[in-house]
Amino acid sequence: MIATIEWKNNRVFMLDQSRLPIDVAYIECRDYLKVAEGIQKLWIRGAPAIGIAAAMGIALAAQEIAAEDFTLFMKKLDPVFSAFLATRPTAVNIQWAVERIRTLLRSRKDETISALKSLLIEEAKTILAEDVEVNKAIGRWGAQFIRDGDTILTHCNAGSLATGGYGTATAPMLIAKEQGKQFQVIADETRPVLQGARLTSWELMQSDIPVTLITDNTAGALMKKGEISLAIVGTDRTVLNGDVANKIGTYTVAVLCREHAIPFYVAAPMSSIDFSIPSGDHIPIEERSPEEVTHICGTCRIAPVGVKVRNLAFDVTPAAYVTAIITEKGAFRPEDIQKLRSPHADLDAIRIRAGR
Ligand code: MRU
């Protein structure tokens, strides 16, 4: 599996996903502003991956800080935290990473600044390593929903490239394959940035999982013909009531699934669950530049000069359309997600099992 992001020789190396699958090239980031730019410009994208990138960017920034005491160190880190929080608003993972790092630093405030700088590098590497384990666990819980002969629809890219490795929506597929199940995947191309065409189909082919690429507006026709067995997608932020924000067009897929009685699963690491927001109405939705819509891959204009554009990068699928949310702790009905907030929740009582 190709690395999405790495910490090497006190630098951050990110795979430039905006050039995939034509070129496989890494961008070397020597300072945190370059990492933040990479998140904003989609060199790295996908909720867990941008959380990891933010953690590495913070570690990078910290190495350059001159501070004699903890208070000054934190004060100088503040604009760094703000820079990452301002990059992309919908995925909660950047917020999650910043909070995790702030809490860690506060708990170690009596240590030397030099020790704290090393701690931040170790923490960023830990966040990356943990993400891979989390995804494998999502895969183990999710694989039960894939049966021999299934055709799985996925939208956008919630694969290895969107994470530290293994992916969230793709993890159940990878585990099902390891279990010897025979199935195929249909990838929505995912206008306007084409994560499905450029990234998902590319990485599934590398994993030897049979994949067929379709335009976004083909999904309904295939469902009507009985050619889709289930859908699995990722999420940028799932909230207390089980509403799910994900790539624009996910809501359309979910509504189509409901109409055709097709199970609709969301793979969601706990780092993408925001218990502080009661419903999807409160999730900030990123709107990106009109050029993503008026041009193909930034170069070829396909719309008239001056046309008005709306380019919402994400939408919200109401919990009612979601069959189950697959986390590293198990698969749950969306209405039970709120129970995961408590460390004492009886998970066995609320986990759901295959048997659709
Ligand atoms: O704009 P992107 O490419 O960052 O959008 C990515 C998605 O919507 C993914 O489905 C989501 O982040 C989950 S990634 C495991």
pLDDT digits (tens, 9 = 90+) for 317-340: 999 999 999 999 999 999 999 999
238 lines ligand 1 (CB under 6 A): no
The pTM of this model reads: 0.97
90 lines ligand 1 (CB under 6 A): no
Confidence label for 297 from pLDDT (cuts 50, 70 and 90): confident
Contact (CB, 8 A) for 309 and 294: yes
Kindly list the domain boundaries of the chain, sorted by start residue. Answer: 5-135, 145-350
What is the distance in A from the centroid of ligand 1 to the CA of 169? 10
Q: Residue type for 335, please? A: E
Q: What pairing do the DSSP bridges indicate for beta strands 230-233 and 150-154?
A: parallel
CATH topology of domain 145-350: Rossmann fold (3.40.50)
What is the distance in A from the centroid of ligand 1 to the CA of 116? 31
User: Taking the mean position of all CA atoms in its chain, how far away is CA 19?
Assistant: 19
**Could you report how far apart the first and last alpha carbons of the chain are, in Å?**
32
For 102-161, the pLDDT digits (tens) are 999 999 999 999 999 999 999 999 999 999 999 999 999 999 999 999 999 999 999 999
In terms of C-beta density within 10 A (0-12 exposed, 13-18 middle, 19 or more buried), how is residue 208 classed?
Answer: exposed
Set 236, 243, 274, 315: catalytic member: 236
**What's the confidence (pLDDT) of residue 1?**
81
190 lines ligand 1 (CB under 6 A): no
For 25-47, the pLDDT digits (tens) are 999 999 999 999 999 999 999 99
What is the distance in A from the centroid of ligand 1 to the CA of 109? 35
313 secondary structure, DSSP code: S
236 labelled catalytic: yes
Whole-angstrom Cα distance, residue 46 to residue 39?
9
Contact (CB, 8 A) for 312 and 287: yes
User: Taking the mean position of all CA atoms in its chain, how far away is CA 125?
Assistant: 18
For 61-73, the pLDDT digits (tens) are 999 999 999 999 9
Work out the number of other CB atoms within 10 angstroms of the CB of residue 331.
24
- Architecture of the domain delimited by 5-135: Up-down Bundle (1.20)
Mutate to test the pocket of ligand 1, among 157, 237, 251, 271 (most ligand atoms within 8 A of CB): 157
Whole-angstrom Cα distance, residue 92 to residue 51?
8
Contact (CB, 8 A) for 48 and 92: no
45 lines ligand 1 (CB under 6 A): yes
Contacts with 124 (C-beta within 8 Å, 6 or more apart), sequence order: 7, 52, 55, 56, 58, 59
Q: Which pair of tokens denotes residue 273?
A: 């669950």
**CA–CA–CA angle 233, 135, 207 (5° rounding):** 75
Whole-angstrom Cα distance, residue 314 to residue 23?
26
Q: Whose CA is nearest to atom 6 of ligand 1?
A: 46
12 lines ligand 1 (CB under 6 A): no
What is the distance in A from the centroid of ligand 1 to the CA of 160? 11
For 233-290, the pLDDT digits (tens) are 999 999 999 999 999 999 999 999 999 999 999 999 999 999 999 999 999 999 999 9
Confidence label for 199 from pLDDT (cuts 50, 70 and 90): very high
What is the distance in A from the centroid of ligand 1 to the CA of 22? 20
**What's the confidence (pLDDT) of residue 209?**
98
Nearest 5°: phi and psi at 23? -120, 140
Q: What pairing do the DSSP bridges indicate for beta strands 244-247 and 314-317?
A: antiparallel
